[in-house]
Amino acid sequence: MILKDKTLQNVVSPTAKAGQKQEQDVAFFLRRAFKDHKQVFVINDFKFTHNNETAQIDHLIVYPFGFVLIESKSIKGEVKVNDFGEWTRSFGSKWSGMASPIKQVELQQKLLREMLFEHREIILNKLFGIKQQSFGLRCWDNVCVVSSNAVIDRDSMPSDVSKQLVKTEFLVDKLNKLMKLRNKGFRLITVDTRPDFSDKELDSITSFLMTQINQKTVNKEKINKEAVEAIAPVEKPNVMTDAVLQCKSCGEKSDYTAQYGRYGYFIKCNKCETNTAMKMPCVSCASKNTKVTKKKEAYTLNCSDCEQGTVLI
């Protein structure tokens, strides 16, 4: 399942254009292979901040047994890596050094693991109320994908680097070997001892990761909105005295937790654990052309037809 597509940028330089084209090619192969897969979740252009450090992962895969980080590199000439892990590439008849994409993705993985570990109780433990295995024992793999027309000198390359380096058209084969996904019945026969995430845990993990992206968008919208409010007053949304949100299963109107998932904002009932979408028809005109936005701790249902806003929480 593709949770976030590749975001195209208005790039000008030939190098930037080549880099974006390579990321597009990788995103294309990932979409072809996993867009309908119920256990493989793909986030393209995953940019996040943790402890005042920012990282951008070209492509992140979350699956039942762990995570795969993919770094895309546009290399049209020959690439070599010596025993010290130092990379060189050719351009025409000239050779030049380049930063190691393997080291780059290792730093990204380290920051991602730190962020998930710090929030492990929110993401995992809260689901069942007991201590889980967290993220340390899961599978963590890094893959560097280079252009299909690159020439890779594997004979002189360290074996550990060669295992992580693949051309674009062979990426899916590499991922299938790393993830080793099989149906549950077959796993019982082959005795797969890898600890795995449940469906609920996968949903919680991906929802948390998507919230990190959404929070950055909300912060940008907040800055822009505050700039507008400085020169023009904005009409405040309606505040409903009666509870608008309620669990679609048991009807609970207050004992729930607001969350963000792959389909948008929703509430999770703390009594029956049912998820209910916050998006609903407008309470003023009944239009379905509505959108839920979040500002600090307030969630608002905005109607595009009657231009009314209703505070849900």
Q: Where do the structural domains in the chain lie, given as residue ranges?
A: 2-210, 235-311
pLDDT in tens, 277-289: 998 888 777 788 8
Q: Which stretch of 66-70, 73-77, 214-218, 237-241 has the lowest confidence by average pLDDT?
A: 237-241
- For the chain, percent of residues with pLDDT exceeding 70: 85
pLDDT in tens, 211-263: 888 665 545 444 455 544 554 444 544 544 345 788 888 888 888 888 888 77
pLDDT in tens, 116-149: 999 888 888 554 444 455 788 899 999 999 999 9
Confidence of residue 188 (pLDDT cuts 50, 70, 90): very low
- In this prediction, residue 116 carries a pLDDT of 94
Q: Is the pLDDT of residue 55 over 70?
A: yes
Q: Is the pLDDT of residue 199 over 50?
A: yes
- In this prediction, residue 175 carries a pLDDT of 97
Three-state DSSP string of the chain: CEEECCCCCCCCCHHHHHHHHHHHHHHHHHHHHHCCCCCCEEEEEEEEEECCEEEEEEEEEEECCEEEEEEEECCCCEEEECCCCCEEEEECCEEEEECCHHHHHHHHHHHHHHHHHHCHHHHHHHHHCCCCCCCCCCEEEEEEEECCCCEECCCCCCHHHHHHEEEHHHHHHHHHHHHCCCCHHHHHHHCCCCCCCCHHHHHHHHHHHHHHHHHHHHHHHHHHHHHHHCCCCCCCCEECCCCCCCCCCCCCCCCEEEEEECCEEEEEECCCCCEEECCCCCCCCCCCCEEEEEECCEEEEEECCCCCEEECC
Which has the higher per-residue pLDDT, 88 or 226? 88
Phi then psi dihedrals of residue 33, to 5 deg: -85, -35
